[in-house]
Amino acid sequence: MRSKRFIIALLTFVIVFTAIGTPRFGKSAFIAEAKTESDYKKDLAKSQQKSKELQQEINKLAGQIGNKQAQINKVLAIIDSIKDDMDMINGEITKLNAKIKDAEQKIKAKEIEIENKTTLFKERLRAMYVSGGNTELQVLLSTSDFADFLAKMELISSVSEKDNKMIDDLKKDLKVINEDKAKLEEDKESNKRKRDDMKDRQKNYSTQLAVVQKAIDEAKDEKKTIEEERAEELQKQREIKADIAELKQKNTYTGTYGGGLLAWPVPGYYTISSGYGPRGSGFHPGVDITGGGVYGHDIVAAADGVVVLVKYSSTSYGNRLYVGHGKYNGKELTTLYAHCSRIMVSSGQTVKKGQKIAEVGSTGNSTGPHLHFEVILDGDQVNPMGYLK
């Protein structure tokens, strides 16, 4: 009997002790505290490191652009040289064409001259044939004495030789002119081949130039993108510094909150246009929630807490607010809601889980209406999807 009472008393003690020792909200309980200056300094340090890395990437791209530009200058110099050569060859071809034209005119004149002489000889031969072929004999027989005979004999012979020599000379001239014309045609064809070769070389170098220019344009575009990203990081740094200065003037919130996982901050809209993780050459520290007609839709507090900071801006994260939710597993938990069109709460205001605190917008550096949502633990941005319902 005594043993039975002891067991009952022991069980009662265990039940009471367990009830007293168990936290009201279990393992997921938060002790709400605001994001501290130290947290923001951590954010600033990370942003500065990222800015440094982006500048290194910009410098690297600038070097690549410089190298590519040097290649372009070299190719352009070659193309200019080819153009000069082509101009020279075209000039030579023009001169050769003029010489060929002149030679053709001379050949035509010689051919006409030969044709005229040939016609004349044919007429003389025809006359001699018609007269019986004794014209020369009649001339000789008509002499008065032997001296006259010899003189006329020599004259006839001289005339015949002169005509033959003239024909031979004309034929020789025609041969020389034809040879000159053939040489000019050969030179013209040679220069044409050179010009065609120059055109092929110019086309090849122009293709190389286009490839190098495309690489430069791509590098410039990438450099511009990174410069814009770095400018955004620098703007974030300025905003964080301003937030730190403002936080120094504010009291941190202390309180108690208990709950489970965080509430989805844009009820009814579950499309993630950009998740947590690497994006481009940088890192996206949160999730972008969007969807059709999302502009102006309610943004609700992910958990009970206090509005730590409200900022209005046309750059970077635009209109944004931070809500502190206290401790989670020993770390201070804060949520960020950015690019809001309207903010319905003010700094220091206590909010409840699911309470409307803002409306979705596209302020700051934004590509369209969406909510940029972050979960921050002790100043470190973590993947929100591990904490959302």
271 or 142, greater pLDDT = 271
266: domain range?
253-386
- Quick one: CA torsion of 94, 97, 101, 104, rounded to 10 degrees? 160
pTM exceeding the 0.85 threshold for the entire prediction? no
Q: Domain count for the chain, please give it.
A: 2
Of the pLDDT bands very low, low, confident and very high (cuts 50, 70, 90), residue 125 is low
pLDDT value of residue 23: 33
Of the pLDDT bands very low, low, confident and very high (cuts 50, 70, 90), residue 24 is very low
Of the pLDDT bands very low, low, confident and very high (cuts 50, 70, 90), residue 28 is very low
Same domain membership, residue 287 and residue 224: no
Whole-number percent of the chain with pLDDT over 70: 65
Mean pLDDT of the chain: 73
Q: What is the mean pLDDT of residues 97-116?
A: 76
The CA-CA-CA angle for residues 283, 45, 226, to 5°, reads 40
| Residue 1 in domain | no
252 or 5, greater pLDDT = 252
Residue of 313, 331, 315, 388 lying closest to 39 (CA atoms): 331
| Residue 375 in domain | yes
pLDDT value of residue 31: 35
339 or 2, greater pLDDT = 339
Same domain membership, residue 134 and residue 177: yes
| Residue 99 in domain | yes
Same domain membership, residue 153 and residue 78: yes
pLDDT value of residue 116: 76
pLDDT value of residue 164: 67
| Residue 93 in domain | yes
Q: What is the mean pLDDT of residues 161-173?
A: 68
The answer on pLDDT for 233 being more than 90 is: no
Report how far residue 298's alpha carbon sits from residue 270's, in angstroms, rounded to the nearest whole number.
Answer: 13
| Residue 46 in domain | no
Same domain membership, residue 314 and residue 169: no
Question: Which segment of 166-170, 336-340, 378-382 scores lowest on mean pLDDT?
Answer: 166-170
Compute CA distances 274 → 7, 204, 287, whole Å: 60, 44, 6
| Residue 325 in domain | yes
pLDDT value of residue 131: 52
Same domain membership, residue 140 and residue 89: yes
- Quick one: CA torsion of 247, 253, 259, 265, rounded to 10 degrees? -30
267 or 125, greater pLDDT = 267
Q: What is the mean pLDDT of residues 101-105?
A: 77
218 or 359, greater pLDDT = 359
Q: What is the mean pLDDT of residues 134-146?
A: 55
Which residue do the tokens 């014209």 mark? 135
Same domain membership, residue 293 and residue 214: no
| Residue 177 in domain | yes
pLDDT value of residue 17: 35
Same domain membership, residue 206 and residue 79: yes
pLDDT value of residue 374: 92
Q: Which residue among 189, 214, 229 closes a domain?
A: 229
Token reading at 235? 């703007």
Same domain membership, residue 259 and residue 192: no
Question: Which segment of 164-173, 283-292, 318-327 scores lowest on mean pLDDT?
Answer: 164-173
pLDDT value of residue 30: 37
Same domain membership, residue 188 and residue 99: yes
Q: Which residue among 213, 229, 245 closes a domain?
A: 229
What are the tens digits of pLDDT across the range 291-350? 999 999 999 999 998 998 898 877 778 899 999 888 877 788 889 999 999 999 998 899
pLDDT value of residue 127: 58
pLDDT value of residue 300: 97
pLDDT value of residue 184: 74
Of the pLDDT bands very low, low, confident and very high (cuts 50, 70, 90), residue 372 is very high
Same domain membership, residue 189 and residue 149: yes
The answer on pLDDT for 88 being more than 60 is: yes
Question: Which segment of 84-93, 207-216, 243-252, 378-387 scores lowest on mean pLDDT?
Answer: 243-252
Q: Which residue among 229, 261, 279 closes a domain?
A: 229
| Residue 293 in domain | yes
Report how far residue 371's alpha carbon sits from residue 272's, in angstroms, rounded to the nearest whole number.
Answer: 10
Report how far residue 107's alpha carbon sits from residue 193's, in angstroms, rounded to the nearest whole number.
Answer: 27
Residue 344, domain CATH = 2.70.70.10
Same domain membership, residue 206 and residue 109: yes
Of the pLDDT bands very low, low, confident and very high (cuts 50, 70, 90), residue 3 is very low
Q: What is the mean pLDDT of residues 160-175?
A: 69
Contact 287, 373 (CB under 8 A): yes
Same domain membership, residue 288 and residue 208: no
Most confident option among 74-83, 126-135, 201-210, 313-322? 313-322
Q: Crossing angle for the helix pair 146-247 and 37-130, nearest 10 degrees?
A: 170
pLDDT value of residue 355: 96
Residue 177, domain CATH = 1.10.287
- Quick one: CA torsion of 41, 47, 52, 57, rounded to 10 degrees? 170
Question: Which segment of 53-57, 150-154, 240-244 scores lowest on mean pLDDT?
Answer: 150-154
The answer on pLDDT for 227 being more than 70 is: yes
Give start and end residues of each alpha helix (H) in the chain.
Answer: 2-21, 37-130, 135-141, 146-247
